Amino acid sequence: MLAMGCGVSWAEFKVYMKRPIGLTIGLGCQFLLMPLVTFTYAYLLELQSHHAIGMIIVASCPEGTVSNIFTYWSRGDLPLSVSMTLVSTVLALGFMPLNMFTYLRYWTDIRARIPFPQIAGIIALTWVPVICGMIIQRFSKNVARYFVRLGSIAGMSLILITGIMQGRMSPTFFDLDPVILISGFCLPFVGFIIGYVVAFISRMTVKQRTIALEIGIQNTGIALTLMTLTFNLREASDLSLTPVLFTVGQIFLGASVALAHMLYFSCRDRVCKNEDVDAELDDSEVKKGVMEDVLLVNEVETNSAPVEELEEKPLF
Protein backbone atom coordinates (compact mmCIF):
# COMPACT_ATOMS: atom_id res chain seq x y z
CA MET A 1 0.00 0.00 0.00
CA LEU A 2 2.99 2.34 0.46
CA ALA A 3 3.80 2.00 -3.23
CA MET A 4 0.17 2.57 -4.24
CA GLY A 5 -0.01 5.58 -1.94
CA CYS A 6 3.02 7.03 -3.74
CA GLY A 7 0.97 6.94 -6.94
CA VAL A 8 -1.82 9.10 -5.47
CA SER A 9 -1.59 12.79 -4.61
CA TRP A 10 -3.50 14.41 -1.77
CA ALA A 11 -5.29 16.65 -4.30
CA GLU A 12 -6.58 13.61 -6.22
CA PHE A 13 -7.74 11.95 -3.01
CA LYS A 14 -9.61 15.13 -1.96
CA VAL A 15 -11.42 15.25 -5.30
CA TYR A 16 -13.01 11.85 -4.62
CA MET A 17 -13.82 12.82 -1.05
CA LYS A 18 -15.53 16.07 -2.11
CA ARG A 19 -17.31 14.62 -5.15
CA PRO A 20 -17.66 10.92 -4.35
CA ILE A 21 -19.76 9.95 -7.36
CA GLY A 22 -17.53 7.14 -8.58
CA LEU A 23 -16.75 6.19 -4.98
CA THR A 24 -20.44 5.92 -4.09
CA ILE A 25 -21.26 3.85 -7.17
CA GLY A 26 -18.38 1.47 -6.49
CA LEU A 27 -19.13 1.03 -2.79
CA GLY A 28 -22.83 0.57 -3.53
CA CYS A 29 -21.93 -2.27 -5.89
CA GLN A 30 -19.55 -3.69 -3.31
CA PHE A 31 -21.75 -3.81 -0.21
CA LEU A 32 -25.27 -3.90 -1.69
CA LEU A 33 -25.31 -5.53 -5.13
CA MET A 34 -22.45 -8.00 -4.75
CA PRO A 35 -23.91 -9.85 -1.70
CA LEU A 36 -27.41 -9.80 -3.20
CA VAL A 37 -26.28 -11.17 -6.56
CA THR A 38 -24.08 -13.76 -4.83
CA PHE A 39 -27.04 -14.93 -2.72
CA THR A 40 -29.15 -15.30 -5.88
CA TYR A 41 -26.23 -16.99 -7.65
CA ALA A 42 -25.81 -19.60 -4.89
CA TYR A 43 -29.58 -20.11 -4.55
CA LEU A 44 -30.13 -20.74 -8.27
CA LEU A 45 -27.21 -23.16 -8.44
CA GLU A 46 -28.60 -25.01 -5.41
CA LEU A 47 -25.16 -25.22 -3.81
CA GLN A 48 -24.47 -27.12 -0.64
CA SER A 49 -24.83 -25.00 2.47
CA HIS A 50 -21.13 -24.71 3.31
CA HIS A 51 -20.20 -23.56 -0.20
CA ALA A 52 -23.07 -21.07 -0.30
CA ILE A 53 -22.07 -19.70 3.11
CA GLY A 54 -18.48 -19.38 1.93
CA MET A 55 -19.61 -17.39 -1.10
CA ILE A 56 -21.71 -14.99 0.97
CA ILE A 57 -18.84 -14.40 3.39
CA VAL A 58 -16.37 -13.69 0.57
CA ALA A 59 -18.83 -11.41 -1.25
CA SER A 60 -19.38 -9.37 1.91
CA CYS A 61 -15.68 -8.62 2.44
CA PRO A 62 -14.09 -5.29 1.44
CA GLU A 63 -11.55 -4.82 -1.33
CA GLY A 64 -7.87 -5.49 -0.83
CA THR A 65 -4.49 -4.33 -2.10
CA VAL A 66 -4.56 -6.84 -4.95
CA SER A 67 -7.14 -4.76 -6.84
CA ASN A 68 -4.91 -1.67 -6.58
CA ILE A 69 -1.98 -3.49 -8.18
CA PHE A 70 -4.08 -4.84 -11.04
CA THR A 71 -5.59 -1.37 -11.55
CA TYR A 72 -2.11 0.12 -11.79
CA TRP A 73 -0.92 -2.41 -14.37
CA SER A 74 -4.09 -2.02 -16.46
CA ARG A 75 -3.71 1.79 -16.38
CA GLY A 76 -6.97 2.26 -14.52
CA ASP A 77 -7.90 5.08 -12.17
CA LEU A 78 -5.44 4.40 -9.33
CA PRO A 79 -6.65 7.26 -7.06
CA LEU A 80 -10.23 5.90 -7.27
CA SER A 81 -9.03 2.35 -6.64
CA VAL A 82 -7.03 3.33 -3.54
CA SER A 83 -9.89 5.51 -2.27
CA MET A 84 -12.37 2.64 -2.60
CA THR A 85 -10.01 0.29 -0.75
CA LEU A 86 -9.51 2.77 2.09
CA VAL A 87 -13.19 3.62 2.54
CA SER A 88 -14.44 0.04 2.09
CA THR A 89 -12.23 -1.27 4.92
CA VAL A 90 -13.93 1.21 7.26
CA LEU A 91 -17.48 0.59 5.98
CA ALA A 92 -16.94 -3.16 6.32
CA LEU A 93 -17.24 -2.74 10.10
CA GLY A 94 -20.94 -2.04 9.59
CA PHE A 95 -21.86 -3.70 6.30
CA MET A 96 -20.30 -7.10 6.96
CA PRO A 97 -22.52 -7.82 10.02
CA LEU A 98 -25.56 -6.50 8.12
CA ASN A 99 -24.97 -8.74 5.09
CA MET A 100 -24.18 -11.75 7.25
CA PHE A 101 -27.40 -11.29 9.21
CA THR A 102 -29.43 -10.78 6.02
CA TYR A 103 -28.21 -13.65 3.86
CA LEU A 104 -26.55 -16.35 5.97
CA ARG A 105 -29.68 -17.29 7.93
CA TYR A 106 -31.11 -18.97 4.83
CA TRP A 107 -28.46 -21.71 5.24
CA THR A 108 -27.45 -21.59 8.92
CA ASP A 109 -28.60 -20.38 12.33
CA ILE A 110 -25.06 -19.74 13.50
CA ARG A 111 -24.36 -16.08 14.09
CA ALA A 112 -21.22 -15.00 12.28
CA ARG A 113 -18.47 -13.57 14.47
CA ILE A 114 -17.08 -10.57 12.63
CA PRO A 115 -13.30 -10.24 13.21
CA PHE A 116 -13.45 -6.59 14.29
CA PRO A 117 -9.88 -6.49 15.72
CA GLN A 118 -8.50 -7.95 12.50
CA ILE A 119 -10.49 -5.47 10.40
CA ALA A 120 -9.24 -2.63 12.59
CA GLY A 121 -5.71 -3.90 12.04
CA ILE A 122 -6.29 -3.98 8.28
CA ILE A 123 -7.61 -0.41 8.42
CA ALA A 124 -4.39 0.69 10.13
CA LEU A 125 -2.20 -1.32 7.76
CA THR A 126 -4.05 0.20 4.80
CA TRP A 127 -4.45 3.84 5.80
CA VAL A 128 -1.03 4.47 7.37
CA PRO A 129 1.10 3.28 4.39
CA VAL A 130 -1.12 5.17 1.92
CA ILE A 131 -0.81 8.41 3.91
CA CYS A 132 2.97 7.91 4.11
CA GLY A 133 3.03 7.32 0.35
CA MET A 134 1.08 10.54 -0.27
CA ILE A 135 3.61 12.44 1.87
CA ILE A 136 6.49 11.00 -0.15
CA GLN A 137 4.69 11.87 -3.38
CA ARG A 138 4.18 15.44 -2.19
CA PHE A 139 7.83 16.13 -1.35
CA SER A 140 9.65 14.00 -3.93
CA LYS A 141 7.89 12.86 -7.08
CA ASN A 142 11.01 11.06 -8.34
CA VAL A 143 11.27 8.94 -5.18
CA ALA A 144 7.51 8.30 -5.35
CA ARG A 145 7.77 7.04 -8.94
CA TYR A 146 10.58 4.70 -7.88
CA PHE A 147 8.45 3.28 -5.03
CA VAL A 148 5.43 2.85 -7.32
CA ARG A 149 7.43 0.96 -9.94
CA LEU A 150 9.24 -1.23 -7.42
CA GLY A 151 6.13 -1.93 -5.34
CA SER A 152 3.95 -2.74 -8.34
CA ILE A 153 6.48 -5.24 -9.72
CA ALA A 154 6.99 -6.86 -6.31
CA GLY A 155 3.25 -6.96 -5.66
CA MET A 156 2.42 -8.51 -9.02
CA SER A 157 5.15 -11.13 -8.55
CA LEU A 158 3.87 -12.00 -5.09
CA ILE A 159 0.29 -12.31 -6.35
CA LEU A 160 1.26 -14.69 -9.15
CA ILE A 161 3.41 -16.77 -6.81
CA THR A 162 0.52 -16.97 -4.34
CA GLY A 163 -1.84 -18.16 -7.05
CA ILE A 164 0.58 -20.86 -8.18
CA MET A 165 1.26 -22.00 -4.60
CA GLN A 166 -2.44 -22.26 -3.79
CA GLY A 167 -3.02 -24.33 -6.88
CA ARG A 168 -0.20 -26.73 -5.93
CA MET A 169 -1.17 -26.89 -2.25
CA SER A 170 -4.80 -27.72 -3.07
CA PRO A 171 -4.67 -30.61 -5.53
CA THR A 172 -8.15 -31.69 -4.40
CA PHE A 173 -9.68 -28.82 -6.41
CA PHE A 174 -10.16 -31.04 -9.41
CA ASP A 175 -11.86 -33.71 -7.30
CA LEU A 176 -14.65 -31.29 -6.36
CA ASP A 177 -18.07 -31.23 -7.90
CA PRO A 178 -17.72 -29.30 -11.20
CA VAL A 179 -20.58 -27.00 -10.19
CA ILE A 180 -18.78 -26.05 -6.95
CA LEU A 181 -15.45 -25.67 -8.73
CA ILE A 182 -16.79 -23.48 -11.51
CA SER A 183 -19.09 -21.41 -9.27
CA GLY A 184 -16.29 -20.53 -6.84
CA PHE A 185 -13.79 -19.77 -9.59
CA CYS A 186 -16.27 -17.67 -11.59
CA LEU A 187 -17.57 -15.57 -8.69
CA PRO A 188 -14.89 -12.85 -9.26
CA PHE A 189 -16.06 -12.61 -12.87
CA VAL A 190 -19.62 -12.08 -11.62
CA GLY A 191 -18.41 -9.19 -9.48
CA PHE A 192 -16.41 -7.76 -12.38
CA ILE A 193 -19.49 -7.81 -14.62
CA ILE A 194 -21.62 -6.15 -11.91
CA GLY A 195 -19.13 -3.31 -11.51
CA TYR A 196 -18.63 -2.85 -15.24
CA VAL A 197 -22.35 -2.82 -16.11
CA VAL A 198 -23.32 -0.45 -13.28
CA ALA A 199 -20.45 1.92 -14.15
CA PHE A 200 -21.52 1.82 -17.80
CA ILE A 201 -25.15 2.58 -16.94
CA SER A 202 -23.99 5.41 -14.67
CA ARG A 203 -21.90 6.80 -17.59
CA MET A 204 -18.66 6.35 -15.68
CA THR A 205 -16.98 5.24 -18.88
CA VAL A 206 -13.47 6.26 -17.84
CA LYS A 207 -13.77 4.44 -14.51
CA GLN A 208 -15.52 1.24 -15.68
CA ARG A 209 -12.41 -0.92 -15.52
CA THR A 210 -11.39 0.36 -12.10
CA ILE A 211 -14.80 -0.14 -10.48
CA ALA A 212 -15.16 -3.57 -12.09
CA LEU A 213 -11.78 -4.74 -10.72
CA GLU A 214 -12.61 -3.43 -7.26
CA ILE A 215 -15.90 -5.34 -7.14
CA GLY A 216 -14.42 -8.52 -8.59
CA ILE A 217 -11.47 -8.68 -6.17
CA GLN A 218 -12.07 -9.13 -2.43
CA ASN A 219 -9.95 -9.41 0.70
CA THR A 220 -10.24 -13.17 1.19
CA GLY A 221 -7.97 -13.02 4.24
CA ILE A 222 -10.82 -11.46 6.24
CA ALA A 223 -13.18 -14.20 5.02
CA LEU A 224 -10.82 -16.96 6.21
CA THR A 225 -10.41 -15.27 9.61
CA LEU A 226 -14.19 -14.98 10.02
CA MET A 227 -14.66 -18.66 9.18
CA THR A 228 -12.04 -19.70 11.73
CA LEU A 229 -13.64 -17.61 14.48
CA THR A 230 -17.25 -18.60 13.74
CA PHE A 231 -17.17 -22.31 12.87
CA ASN A 232 -15.47 -25.41 14.26
CA LEU A 233 -12.31 -26.76 12.65
CA ARG A 234 -14.01 -29.21 10.31
CA GLU A 235 -16.65 -26.74 9.13
CA ALA A 236 -14.05 -24.00 8.68
CA SER A 237 -11.96 -26.39 6.58
CA ASP A 238 -14.92 -27.10 4.28
CA LEU A 239 -15.83 -23.43 4.06
CA SER A 240 -12.26 -22.37 3.26
CA LEU A 241 -12.43 -24.05 -0.16
CA THR A 242 -14.58 -21.19 -1.46
CA PRO A 243 -12.15 -18.36 -0.57
CA VAL A 244 -9.29 -20.37 -2.06
CA LEU A 245 -11.22 -20.94 -5.30
CA PHE A 246 -12.20 -17.29 -5.30
CA THR A 247 -8.56 -16.24 -4.82
CA VAL A 248 -7.40 -18.31 -7.78
CA GLY A 249 -10.26 -16.91 -9.87
CA GLN A 250 -9.58 -13.29 -8.96
CA ILE A 251 -5.85 -13.64 -9.68
CA PHE A 252 -6.68 -15.14 -13.08
CA LEU A 253 -9.21 -12.36 -13.73
CA GLY A 254 -6.93 -9.51 -12.66
CA ALA A 255 -3.90 -10.87 -14.50
CA SER A 256 -5.95 -11.36 -17.68
CA VAL A 257 -7.36 -7.81 -17.55
CA ALA A 258 -3.95 -6.32 -16.78
CA LEU A 259 -2.19 -8.29 -19.53
CA ALA A 260 -4.85 -7.46 -22.13
CA HIS A 261 -4.65 -3.74 -21.38
CA MET A 262 -0.84 -3.77 -21.25
CA LEU A 263 -0.77 -5.24 -24.76
CA TYR A 264 -3.44 -2.81 -25.97
CA PHE A 265 -1.73 0.28 -24.58
CA SER A 266 1.67 -0.92 -25.82
CA CYS A 267 0.35 -1.21 -29.37
CA ARG A 268 -1.52 2.08 -29.11
CA ASP A 269 1.52 3.92 -27.75
CA ARG A 270 3.64 2.51 -30.57
CA VAL A 271 1.14 3.66 -33.19
CA CYS A 272 0.85 7.10 -31.60
CA LYS A 273 4.64 7.37 -31.44
CA ASN A 274 4.93 6.53 -35.15
CA GLU A 275 2.22 9.07 -35.97
CA ASP A 276 4.06 11.71 -33.93
CA VAL A 277 7.29 10.92 -35.76
CA ASP A 278 5.52 11.21 -39.13
CA ALA A 279 3.94 14.48 -38.02
CA GLU A 280 7.33 15.81 -36.96
CA LEU A 281 8.82 14.79 -40.31
CA ASP A 282 5.95 16.50 -42.14
CA ASP A 283 6.45 19.63 -40.05
CA SER A 284 10.18 19.61 -40.74
CA GLU A 285 9.55 19.24 -44.48
CA VAL A 286 7.07 22.13 -44.36
CA LYS A 287 9.52 24.26 -42.39
CA LYS A 288 12.29 23.34 -44.81
CA GLY A 289 10.12 24.34 -47.75
CA VAL A 290 9.20 27.63 -46.09
CA MET A 291 12.88 28.41 -45.42
CA GLU A 292 13.73 27.65 -49.05
CA ASP A 293 10.98 30.04 -50.16
CA VAL A 294 12.26 32.72 -47.80
CA LEU A 295 15.85 32.30 -49.05
CA LEU A 296 14.64 32.41 -52.64
CA VAL A 297 12.70 35.63 -52.00
CA ASN A 298 15.71 37.21 -50.28
CA GLU A 299 17.94 36.22 -53.20
CA VAL A 300 15.52 37.71 -55.69
CA GLU A 301 15.30 40.93 -53.70
CA THR A 302 19.09 41.11 -53.45
CA ASN A 303 19.57 40.61 -57.18
CA SER A 304 16.86 43.12 -58.05
CA ALA A 305 18.20 45.85 -55.77
CA PRO A 306 20.87 47.22 -58.22
CA VAL A 307 18.31 47.36 -60.98
CA GLU A 308 16.02 49.46 -58.80
CA GLU A 309 18.92 51.76 -57.93
CA LEU A 310 19.82 52.06 -61.59
CA GLU A 311 16.26 52.97 -62.48
CA GLU A 312 16.05 55.57 -59.74
CA LYS A 313 19.44 57.21 -60.58
CA PRO A 314 18.91 60.44 -62.58
CA LEU A 315 20.40 60.52 -66.09
CA PHE A 316 21.62 64.12 -65.79
CATH code at 238?
A: 1.20.1530.20
Read off the pLDDT band of 307 (50, 70, 90). very low
Work out the average pLDDT over 209-238: 84
Mean pLDDT of 71-76: 85
Of the chain, the percentage scoring pLDDT greater than 70 comes to 78
**Residue 233: is its pLDDT beyond 50?**
yes
136: domain range? 2-271
pTM of the model: 0.77
Residue 43 falls inside a structural domain = yes
The reply to whether 194 falls in a domain is: yes
Give the pLDDT confidence score for residue 162 in this predicted structure.
Answer: 65
User: What is the per-residue pLDDT across 41-51, written as a single tens digit (0 to 9) for each?
Assistant: 888 888 888 88
Mean pLDDT, the chain, as a whole number? Answer: 78
**What would the mean pLDDT of 82-92 be, rounded to a whole number?**
88
In a domain, 121, yes or no: yes
- DSSP letter, residue 108: -
- Burial profile 176-213: b = 16 or more Cβ within 10 angstroms, e = fewer: eeeebeebbbebbbbbbebbbebbeebebeebbbbbbb
Q: How many distinct structural domains can be found in the chain?
A: 1
Determine the residue type at 238. D
In this structure, is residue 92 part of a structural domain? yes
Task: Give the pLDDT band (50/70/90) at residue 114.
Answer: confident
Q: Is the pLDDT of residue 232 over 90?
A: no
